[in-house]
Amino acid sequence: RPFSRVRMKEGEVMIGTQVAKVIQSINPAFPVGCHVVGRCGWRTHTVSDGTGLRCLLSDWPQDVSMSLALGAIGMPGLTALYGLEEVLGLQAGETLLVNAAAGAVGSIVGQIAKIKGCRVVGSTGSNGKVAFLKELGFDEAFNYKTVNSLEEVLKTASPDGYDCFFENVGGLFSSVAIPQMKEFGRIAVCGSISTYNDTNPQTGPYPHLTMIFKQLKMEGFMVGRWEHKNPESLRRLMAWKKEGKLQCREQVTEGFENMPAAFMGMLQGENIGKAIVKV
Amino acid sequence: RPFSRVRMKEGEVMIGTQVAKVIQSINPAFPVGCHVVGRCGWRTHTVSDGTGLRCLLSDWPQDVSMSLALGAIGMPGLTALYGLEEVLGLQAGETLLVNAAAGAVGSIVGQIAKIKGCRVVGSTGSNGKVAFLKELGFDEAFNYKTVNSLEEVLKTASPDGYDCFFENVGGLFSSVAIPQMKEFGRIAVCGSISTYNDTNPQTGPYPHLTMIFKQLKMEGFMVGRWEHKNPESLRRLMAWKKEGKLQCREQVTEGFENMPAAFMGMLQGENIGKAIVKV
């Protein structure tokens, strides 16, 4: 029951990850003054025994915002990297499709794929986001909300089809995109944002025949699977950032009291890049 | 458009593979008297330039029916073998689910999985077939047409879930089976018989969330992908047959004129094992 695994109960602390400063400590691993990343939920102050906390990279540069540890140089960046390298095995010269492409994960997916010498097509939900994707170096970008036919725009953007598809949206988008894959195409299923709020699960045509005839591979994944690689991977992401190869856009909301609005706005696609709340 | 790839036009020779004896030849690769396997379609006699024909294994034993070159020691046997070894990477001790389990492919899938030291659960469509699966050594077998709840029977047959799923049926069965997979479960999509005759594609819930939370891998395949391994693989299948580890059941219909009835019966699940027409 995947739904019940993500559904929360009323009264629970809302889940969320934060960068926090240690202000009191009897744990030598986390001395006063150091910054940690932790899944503390929506709290201004947290008492922790250290479980699930990690220190920021020890050599985090002074001119890089620590909030990137929640985005491009944190879980979303790692998700993009592992999806491309571990799940898709993306190779130079291949064509990649990514949806929710202006989001925290999607925007990093597209940029890493460009670093790797790929052709990148991005789907997103506003004209402003399309312009942002073009700035990031996406080869093709479109606003799925205003196209006449998603099928046609996918065909036009890559008439030979797609080698890889980084899937963040699910639902109807997937039904249209899967038949546009090339033979032996690979699909990394990272998210399914179009179905998260379903009370009754959406339905669509079964992909089996397409998967057979095109010999497609589709794999779901979660970032924690490659946790042992995180330190090295975060350094790689930081290096790309410092070399100017990774633009790390954030949508910053100020004030703890504005978190619910920021969160709901994120689910409705109002953010460009990682949605951050500054407290 | 996978559908149009399998749809035939009226007046075309119906597709089909046969074991045939060469009765005239000017091609030294196929001398008179030898037996060949070829996709000649539904014909009693075929003129061929040799394209797409292959000779039977040169050391085919006299006491093994040559018709097995159409079944367990032919394409369906190879499909079972490659699906298990190349796609699923099935390991000893794992639990495998296979549907259409009494069919030409499914019955070999289950037996090879038993040879490999796995626990095998098979779904099939009649009580006679359930008895057949038990004879073959399946650990659990059930008639999906008479169970109260497919979900419950799958849970009962393997309370810890399934490591691997050899999918021949698609449609509703897949929607119920996918949530029964273990974490990191693998699904080989070989067939989708419940949807072949759809005029309007059937729909079902999107599997994305389950695939993400359980980190499932699902891959479509066709047997031709490993053609370079066929000679060795056919020898392995023949060896298992000779050692008595592979029962090769056939449903034999006599007479060319009975082919349409045999074919339609096969799609409706009337056969146990490989459906063969003897001319």
B47-89 pLDDT, tens digit each:
999 988 999 987 899 999 999 999 999 999 999 999 999 999 9
In sequence order, which residues have a C-beta less than 8 Å from that of residue B131 and are 6 or more positions away? none
Q: Is the ipTM of this complex over 0.85?
A: yes
User: Which contiguous run of DSSP H or E holds residue A185?
Assistant: strand A181-189
Q: Percentage of residues in chain A with pLDDT exceeding 70?
A: 98
- Give the Cα separation of B2 and B6 in Å (integer): 7
Contact across the interface for B192 and A208, Cβ inside 8 Å: yes
pLDDT of A81-132, one tens digit each?
999 999 999 999 999 999 999 999 999 999 999 999 999 999 999 999 999 9
Q: Which residues of B touch A203 (CB under 8 A)?
A: 203-206
- Indicate the Cα dihedral angle A183, A188, A191, A192, nearest 10°: 20
Q: Looking at the complex, report in whole angstroms how far the Cα of residue B61 sits from the nearest Cα belonging to chain A.
A: 34
CA B48 to chain A, closest CA, distance in angstroms equals 27
Compute the distance between CA of residue B243 and CA of residue B248 in angstroms, rounded to an integer: 12
Query: Given a cut of 90, is residue B186 above it in pLDDT?
Result: yes
Q: Measure CB to CB from residue B203 to each of A5, A179, A205 and give the nearest one.
A: A205
> Which of B1, B202, B212 would you mutate first to test chain A, the one with the most A CBs within 10 A?
B212
Angle at B42 between CA B39 and CA B46, to 5 degrees: 65
| Cross-chain CB nearest to B204 (options A5, A206, A221) | A206
CA nearest neighbour of B194 among B267, B108, B123: B267
Q: Do A219 and B216 touch (CB under 8 A)?
A: yes
pTM for this prediction: 0.94
Distance CA A178, CA A204 (A): 12
How far does B44 lie from chain A, in Å, by closest CA? 29
- Per-residue pLDDT band at A75 (split at 50, 70, 90): very high
**Length of chain A, in residues:** 279
Span B82-115, pLDDT tens digits: 999 999 999 999 999 999 999 999 999 999 999 9
Which SS3 state, helix, strand or coil, does residue B267 take? Answer: helix
Residue A92 CA: distances (Å) to CA of A133, B7, B150: 20, 36, 44
Query: How far is it, in rounded angstroms, from Cα A87 to Cα A260?
Result: 33
The Cα–Cα gap between B75 and A183 comes to: 21
Rounded Cα distance between A14 and A36, Å, is: 19
Residues of A in contact with B225 (CB under 8 A): 215
Cβ of B206 and A225 within 8 Å? no
Which residue intervals of chain B are DSSP H helices?
2-6, 75-82, 106-115, 127-136, 150-157, 171-177, 208-213, 230-242, 259-267
Task: Tell whether B214 lies on the interface with A, counting CB pairs under 8 A.
Answer: yes
Distance from the Cα of B267 to chain A's closest Cα (Å) equals: 16
Coil, helix or strand for A277? strand
Residue numbers in B near A208 (CB within 8 A): 167, 170-171, 174, 189, 192, 195, 220
Residue the block writes with tokens 């008179």:
B32
CA A136 to chain centre: 15
Residues of B in contact with A192 (CB under 8 A): 206, 208-209, 212
DSSP 3-state of A273: strand
The continuous run of DSSP H or E covering B140 comes out as strand B140-143
A225 touches chain B (CB under 8 A): yes
On whether any CB of chain B is under 8 Å from the CB of A151, the answer is: no
Q: How many residues does chain B have?
A: 279
Q: A175 CA to chain B: closest CA distance, Å? A: 9
pLDDT in tens, A193-211: 999 888 889 999 999 999 9
- Which of A179, A206, A222 has the CB atom closest to B215's CB atom? A222
